[in-house]
Structure 1
Amino acid sequence: MGKGNKERAKERREKRRQEVSLLRTIPYSDHQRWWSSDTIAVVTGANRGIGFEIARQFSLHGLTVILTSRETKVGEEAAKVLQEGGLNVVFHQLDVVDSSSIKLFADWVKQTFGSVDILVNNAGVNFNAGSDNSVEFAEKVFDTNYYGTKNMIKALIPLMRPSASGARIVNVSSRLGRLNGRRNRIGNLSLRQQLEDDGSLSEELIDQTVATFLEQVNDGSWTSGGWPQVFTDYSLSKLAVNTYTRLMSRVLSGRPEGQKIYINCYCPGWVKTAMTGWAGHTSPEEGADTAVWLALLPEQFVSGKFFAERREINY
């Protein structure tokens, strides 16, 4: 991309950020607000960064928020900050890579609240920064970003409250996980086509793709496997999240009226958080915006889509 194109892209990005910032100042009208203080939103990995900001914005809109964190102390402190501001936030420990922790959490939610209306899968890790592309922690990346997200969805779907507005699931993802991005896509065209085709897409195919990559990481052959060459493990973990979002949208589409669950994913952009080493160009407030907007859409008929800056983008 030439300098002129880069400048134009930067200008377009800045213009869109300003547009979204303006939209965020427009309050929801009474007839748009399908939620109330009894509406329960779960946000994973919410002790800091984007997750904390999603929890804060939900609570500012009047929802009851369950803020979760792997570490109890920092999660309690994060919840306390919001509680001291008069916001309706409760904390519960949750480690999305631990199946027993997920079960304990789901059991507690059922006993305490009975049901949930919104799940935001925000918990995620990335061990690369700058031009680094180590796959040393690839298994941990997939355990958190993909399997953690998938297992949370499976655990909470039975607790999703039936309603005319439908329950909502939002998965925090990344443009790096796009199937057909100009950069960083899978080199294996046949595999890419299988993952792109809703007819052939299955949980087994996604899991096998992940397993194949991890096998190649273990034997050292991943560099010639046709995988993305930038942030490889992180990119593939988010590709798995994106494709699983599409798959679950299809699975959930058959639910009857009054029991609908809408699931989408979004890219928050390159956000100034600990994960990016504070090197991003987007604030956590901006990064959280699309997740909150998606979850609160007054007429939620969209599902299985990928968004950024309140706009649908291609997978």
Structure 2
Amino acid sequence: MVSSSTMQQPPICHPTTTARWWSKDSIAIVTGANKGIGYALVKRFAELGLTVVLTSRDQSRGLKAVDSLKVLGLDRNVYFCQLDISDQASIRSFVSWFRSRFDAFDILVNNAAVCFNAMNSNSMDHAETVVKTNYYGSKLLTEAILPLSRPSNSAASITRILNISSRLGTLDKLKNTKIKAILEDKERLSEDRIDMVVGVFLQDVKDGSWERQGWPEIWTDYSVSKLALNAYSCVLARRYEGVVSVNCFCPGFTQTAMTDGQGKHSADDAAEMAATLALLPVSRLTTGKFYAGSTTRGMHSKL
């Protein structure tokens, strides 16, 4: 049974020191994986012996990423498929492709995301695209691929979903008390309520009132998209408790294209932490948690 206890947990174990429940027949899907954390995570999963599906919105970049893994000798169990999570037709095509090649998946890492702001800017010019990709795209892919999750006929076969998120999307960044109250009410939280919150935000952007409505102050559109993803993860965790483990992970300030190469640690460091969470033994497996990662302090749950 997946545990959702909030009791203090001992330190999370490194995947190479835990009981190995996976094999080359275990299938991990990583979205947005032609570079950055996604690529590093595909590499780490391949090193640990899983079969990995690398997806990328841009086909040429995705194939180039696979070629670079070939140089490292890690391409034997890596497959590529083009996937744009903001396009429902692309999601349908991906699910059809996956179904034709695999019986089921064991791990889904929703890593694909966009942000159009530089480090010190906060434009809302692409707010709709950011929300459509980071929240709705991840949600639509998850719902489309879930029927192909591994049947839970043993403790080790519990499907794991890890949503790469951000501290920018935590509730303490939200100053709008009415919206905050809706998202804090875990008993009544639903997809409809989350979609309503997202709709209010996009309307505030459209009419130019977003700055005075108490939305997160840094990378506002990106933060709201992750706020919605975090809330959706809680809904999904409750719906599939005992069958699917659903957690969020903020890798921290990581050196990627999104941060203009700035950060406190590398994409490989972030991938190591993400792999640890995705590969937890069933005795340590949680659901409905938001984990924050640090290479110096380790990982801890904020829920």
- TM-score normalised per structure 1: 0.86
Q: What residue in structure 1 maps to residue 165 of structure 2?
A: 173
Partner amino acid, structure 1, of 2:145: L
- Give aligned-pair identity as a percent: 46
Contact 2:292 2:302 survives alignment (8 Å): no
Alignment gaps of 5+ in structure 1: 1-18
Q: Distance in 2 between matches of 1:220 and 1:193?
A: 23
Offset from partner CA, 1:153-191 (integer Å, 9 cap, x none): 1011100011422010000000011102xxxx2222232
Whole-angstrom CA distance in 1 between matches of 2:164 and 2:79: 21
Distance in 1 between residues matched to 2:58 and 2:178, nearest whole Å: 41
Residue 217 of structure 1 aligns with which residue?
A: 205
Count of aligned positions? 283
Matching residue of 1:306 = 290
Instruction: State the secondary structure of the residue aligned to 2:270.
Output: helix
Taking the aligned partners of 1:72 and 1:301, their CA distance within structure 2 comes to 34
**Which consecutive residues of structure 2, in runs of 5 or more, have no partner in the other structure?**
1-10
Q: Residue 291 of structure 1 is aligned with which of 264, 274, 283? A: 274
Runs of 4 or more, structure 1, over 4 Å off, are: none
Amino acid at match of 1:186: L
2:225 corresponds to 1:237: yes
State the one-letter code of the partner of 1:79. Answer: V
How does 1:102-121 map onto structure 2 within 5 Å? 102-121=91-110
SS across alignment from 2:179: helix
C-alpha distance in structure 2 between counterparts of 1:210 and 1:304, whole Å:
20
Letter paired with 1:123: A
TM-score, normalization: structure 2? 0.89
Aligned-partner Cα distance in 2 for 1:124–1:218? 22
Secondary structure of residue in 1 paired with 2:180: helix
Which of 87, 101, 117 is the matching residue for 2:90? 101
SS of alignment partner, residue 27 of structure 1 = helix
Q: Within 1, Cα distance between the matches of 2:22 and 2:84?
A: 28
Whole-Å separation in 2 of the counterparts to 1:159 and 1:86:
29
Deviation at 1:216, TM superposition (A): 1.2
Q: Does 1:132 align with 2:121?
A: yes
Kindly indicate whether the alpha-carbon contact (under 8 Å) linking 2:36 and 2:267 is maintained by their aligned counterparts in 1.
yes
Alpha-carbon RMSD across the aligned residues, in angstroms, is 1.6
Show the 5 A alignment for 1:64-79: 64-79=51-66
Q: How much has 1:84 moved relative to structure 2?
A: 3.2
Contact 1:173 1:265 in 2 (8 A): yes
| SS in structure 2 of the partner of residue 119 of structure 1 | strand
